[in-house]
């Protein structure tokens, strides 16, 4: 059962520049779409490590001895390479964000369209939930999350409304949350603003930016010379982190040069700028609208 149609699939696979006998990593297995295409290009000696912290993803595992499934956050990539006695790999692929399956299962609480418990955990073994965030974070911290991760206009007003409402009733379901802020939602854009709010909560609950930062800085140690990094992002902060790392070798985007004036960095951009979905794909897969693909290589 493949429950997630990969965005920019062909461009991502081409970007990996797959060698039949190579070792590759899919950091976000999900429905297995990318992994299956990678396996198609590997011969009997090739290997693929697939990460996913969501146990539901195991339902999509193919019966293929070349694939090693790792139920873990991809931020522990280096640890698991060491565990499997693999020093370096030929390519790493990451399709960030949320899977279609996680969106569609209302009990997971990721979407505002359905009334569900405020969960939003990609890994159900983690302790932090959206409910805990909404019921315990200060006005200032909530506002920062809404502003930074959701790019929500008037973030402070939403934070104050939530904190005021929770004094009388704990935030348990998405209906509780929506009721607490309904007077602030623009009538014609309420779905858009709720999406921003829910996105911010999801990113906070799963520490998505922290995991991405931890993983990017591991790339120089995990990739072989000539190895490729392929990242699909759906949020401006994610894309900025990836862009900075590829361009300058650090997450802040600070340019550092050697004695000869060359920029000190570990990766080289393969594609100029960013790759986005074609008009045809936009029509077939709405999720691709915000997708940005960047490809880099570790110089030989």
Answer whether 215's CB lies under 8 Å from 222's CB. no
Share of the chain above pLDDT 70, in %: 93
Q: Mind listing the pLDDT tens digit for each residue in 187-242?
A: 889 889 999 999 999 999 999 999 999 999 999 999 999 999 999 999 999 999 99
What is the average per-residue pLDDT within 289-295?
Answer: 94
Domain 127-205 has CATH 3.40.47.10: no
Per-residue confidence (pLDDT) for residue 2, from 0 to 100: 46
CA 172, CA 179: separation in Å to the nearest integer?
12
pLDDT tens readout for residues 9-55: 999 999 999 999 999 999 999 888 999 999 999 999 999 999 999 88
Predicted pLDDT of residue 272: 84
Beta strands 223-233 and 292-297: pairing type? antiparallel
Locate CATH 1.10.150.170 in the chain.
Answer: 127-205
CATH 3.20.20.70 fits 9-100+209-297, yes or no: no
| Number of neighbours of residue 296 by Cβ within 10 angstroms | 26
Rounded CA separation 38/18 (Å): 8
Query: Whose CA is closest to 251, among 259, 243, 262?
Result: 243
pTM of the full predicted structure? Answer: 0.91
Radius of gyration of the chain measured on its C-alpha atoms: 20
Tell me how far apart the alpha carbons of residues 238 and 255 are, in angstroms, rounded to a whole number. Answer: 19
Q: pLDDT tens digits for 94-124? A: 999 765 545 555 555 556 567 888 999 988 8
DSSP H or E run through 125: none
Q: Give the residue range(s) of CATH 3.40.50.150 domains in the chain.
A: 9-100+209-297
């Amino acid at each position: 059962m493949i429950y997630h149609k990969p965005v920019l699939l062909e461009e991502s696979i081409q970007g990996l520049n797959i060698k039949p006998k190579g070792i590759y990593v899919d950091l976000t297995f999900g429905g297995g779409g990318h992994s299956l295409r990678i396996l198609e290009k590997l011969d009997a000696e090739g290997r693929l490590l697939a990460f996913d912290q969501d146990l539901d993803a195991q339902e999509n595992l193919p019966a293929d001895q070349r694939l090693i499934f790792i139920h873990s956050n991809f931020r522990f990539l280096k640890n698991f390479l060491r565990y499997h006695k693999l020093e370096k790999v030929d390519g790493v692929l990451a399709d960030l964000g949320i899977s279609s399956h996680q969106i569609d299962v209302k009990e997971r609480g990721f979407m505002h369209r359905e009334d569900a418990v405020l969960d939003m955990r990609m890994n159900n073994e983690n302790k932090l939930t959206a409910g805990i965030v909404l019921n315990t974070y200060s006005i200032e911290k909530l506002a920062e999350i809404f502003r930074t991760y959701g790019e929500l206009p008037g973030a402070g007003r939403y934070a104050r409304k939530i904190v005021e409402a929770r004094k009388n009733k704990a935030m348990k379901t998405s209906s509780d949350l929506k009721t607490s802020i309904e007077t602030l939602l623009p009538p014609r854009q309420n779905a858009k603003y709720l999406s921003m709010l829910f996105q911010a909560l999801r990113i906070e609950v799963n520490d998505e930016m922290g995991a991405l930062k931890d993983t990017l800085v591991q790339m120089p140690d995990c990739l072989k010379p000539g190895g490729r990094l392929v990242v699909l992002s759906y949020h401006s902060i994610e894309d900025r982190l990836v862009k900075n790392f590829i361009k300058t070798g650090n997450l802040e985007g600070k340019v550092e040069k050697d004695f000869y004036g060359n920029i000190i960095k570990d990766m080289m951009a393969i594609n100029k700028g960013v790759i986005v979905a074609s008009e045809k794909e936009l029509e077939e897969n709405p999720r691709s609208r915000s997708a940005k693909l960047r490809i880099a290589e570790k110089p030989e």
